[in-house]
Amino acid sequence: MLFIKTPVKGMPEQLPEDMVIREYVMRQIKDAYRLYGFNLIETPLIEHIENLTGKQGGENEKLIFKILKRGEKLAESGADDLCDSGLRYDLTVPLARFYANNMDKLPNPFKAFQMGYSFRAERPQKGRFRQFIQCDIDILGDATNLAEIELILATSEMLSRLNLGKFKVRINDRRLLKTMALASGLPADQLDTVFIILDKMDKVGLDGVRDMLKEEGFDAAAVEKYVALYQGMNDTYQSSRSYLTERGMTDFDPAVTDNLDEIIRVSADLLQDKAQIVFDPTLVRGMSYYTGPIFEVELETFGSSVAGGGRYDDMIGKYLGRSVPACGFSIGFERIFAVLKDNHFTVPDTHENVAILIDKKAPKEKVRTAIEEASVLRAQGNRVLISWRNSNAKFQKEQLKTAGYTRFIEIFKENYS
């Protein structure tokens, strides 16, 4: 029989030192959201193929790991019909199904929190795997911006606990994005193309956006008018209404800007100097299912985007045949883990870590005494490893020091301990 030592392509293995960090981060995230009244739930890793291919997953639907039918079902199937389930590629499709199936047992509004593996058959890259932890928080059944504010505050609590320094929350609204494009004379049926280009602003700059829009064949006057709306931007806007008014726009829905500006104002007041909350009219967010406010959270110290989300009122209700207001955040767990690991983060440890190393030839009574000593130390709250002393004890102790052991008790064959 041939055994294969390496993991399946793109599959992650977590070594002990990484798991210590990962476990710590997971607990901090779970504890923070629990404090804010979110409910941890779990949905299955395996989902109906019909639900996974319902056109809500965009490009991810091309990356599904499909599961072969079994037994009779497989025997009765043709080549095109081998699978009726697959591994989930996100937590949103399962959440919508879960909510429809369990709604009568859940509070309304329902504040959901999920953390678990998703799977995508993407090309593996350094630090990017085909199995990865996703972490989603969602408020279902609340159409008001209390949902957005709570999501921002809870996420801020989570980031504070991890000591990730100051962060910036960028906010925009899908409806304002549309208003700005339409008011400039860009065509309503090509807004997705416009936004894909606008989304590149931080890489190509405003001139780059102008060039790309023109290359795409949009009307030059419309492009100039559109680009003018983003001229001379900075990164400190606190009001979408002022922003638009100052640029001479009048034909926007004040209910939309007021809603957005209230989110910014209340969050900024409560978070004070922990975070900067800004209106960013260039923020797009990839998924087209967003219907209202959208966010992105960025760590200032590490220059890394660690969370994002928005309101998507038309999706959760698909299983129920009616609209369910919904607003959610995805926390980039794997990103946060990578930032902490790259910065040599050490998990705060309240235990003393003691390693008792016993010579393999030590007499039985000494082994027994060592086991008893370990019990006493553990009862005092110390973490104690009891292990045989290797012939290369120096290397062994170096390795254990790396793993956090600070105190060594060595039990020798003779009585020179």
**What part of residues 301-360 is at the interface with a second copy (CB under 8 A)?**
318-319, 351, 355, 358
Nearer to a second copy by Cβ, of 67 and 249: the residue is 67
Q: How far is CA 262 from CA 279, 328, 347, in A?
A: 11, 18, 37
Applying CB under 8 A, among 90, 136, 138, 142 the residue interacting with a second copy is 142
Residue 398 touches a second copy, criterion: CB under 8 A: no
Applying CB under 8 A, among 214, 367, 373, 409 the residue interacting with a second copy is 367
Specify the stretch interacting with a second copy by CB under 8 A; choose among 167-175, 333-341, 382-390, 409-417.
Answer: 382-390
The dihedrals phi and psi of 355, each to the nearest 5 degrees, come to -110, 125
Nearer to a second copy by Cβ, of 55 and 203: the residue is 55
Residue 81 touches a second copy, criterion: CB under 8 A: no
What does the alpha-carbon distance between residue 411 and residue 416 come to, in Å, rounded to a whole number? Answer: 9
Contact 370, 364 (CB under 8 A): no
Q: Where are the alpha helices (H) located in 216-326, listed in sequence order?
A: 220-228, 240-246, 254-271
Nearer to a second copy by Cβ, of 223 and 326: the residue is 326
Residue 241 touches a second copy, criterion: CB under 8 A: no
SS3 79: helix
Compute the least distance from the CB of residue 87 to a second copy, in Å. 8
Residue 131 touches a second copy, criterion: CB under 8 A: yes
Strand partners, 309: 295, 329
Which tokens in the block code for residue 220? Answer: 């030059």
Binders of a second copy among 251-280, rule CB under 8 A? Answer: 262, 266, 270
C-alpha atoms less than 13 angstroms from C-alpha of 103 in its C-beta half-sphere: 14
Residue 414 touches a second copy, criterion: CB under 8 A: no
Applying CB under 8 A, among 59, 68, 127, 187 the residue interacting with a second copy is 68
Residue 35 touches a second copy, criterion: CB under 8 A: yes
Nearer to a second copy by Cβ, of 304 and 382: the residue is 382
Query: Pattern of binders to a second copy over 85-124, x per CB under 8 A?
Result: x-x--------xxx-xxx--xxxxx-x-----x-x-x---
Contact 170, 155 (CB under 8 A): no
Task: Considering only CA atoms, give the Rg of the chain.
Answer: 27
- Strands laid side by side in the 353-359 sheet: 383-389, 353-359, 407-411
Applying CB under 8 A, among 387, 393, 401, 414 the residue interacting with a second copy is 387
Applying CB under 8 A, among 146, 228, 233, 268 the residue interacting with a second copy is 146
Residue 390 touches a second copy, criterion: CB under 8 A: yes
Of 194, 190, 281, 192, residue with least CA distance to 231? 281
Q: Where are the alpha helices (H) located in 59-145, listed in sequence order?
A: 71-75, 92-102
Count of residues in contact with a second copy, rule CB under 8 A: 97
Q: Angle at the Cα of 416 (from 395 to 372), degrees rounded to 5? A: 80
Nearer to a second copy by Cβ, of 86 and 281: the residue is 86
Applying CB under 8 A, among 2, 232, 234, 416 the residue interacting with a second copy is 2
Residue 396 touches a second copy, criterion: CB under 8 A: yes
Q: Angle at the Cα of 22 (from 35 to 63), degrees rounded to 5? A: 100
Counting every residue, how long is the chain?
Answer: 417
Applying CB under 8 A, among 25, 41, 181, 212 the residue interacting with a second copy is 41
Residue 65 touches a second copy, criterion: CB under 8 A: yes
Which tokens in the block code for residue 111? Answer: 């504040």
Residue 389 touches a second copy, criterion: CB under 8 A: no
Nearer to a second copy by Cβ, of 146 and 249: the residue is 146
Which tokens in the block code for residue 6? Answer: 């390496």
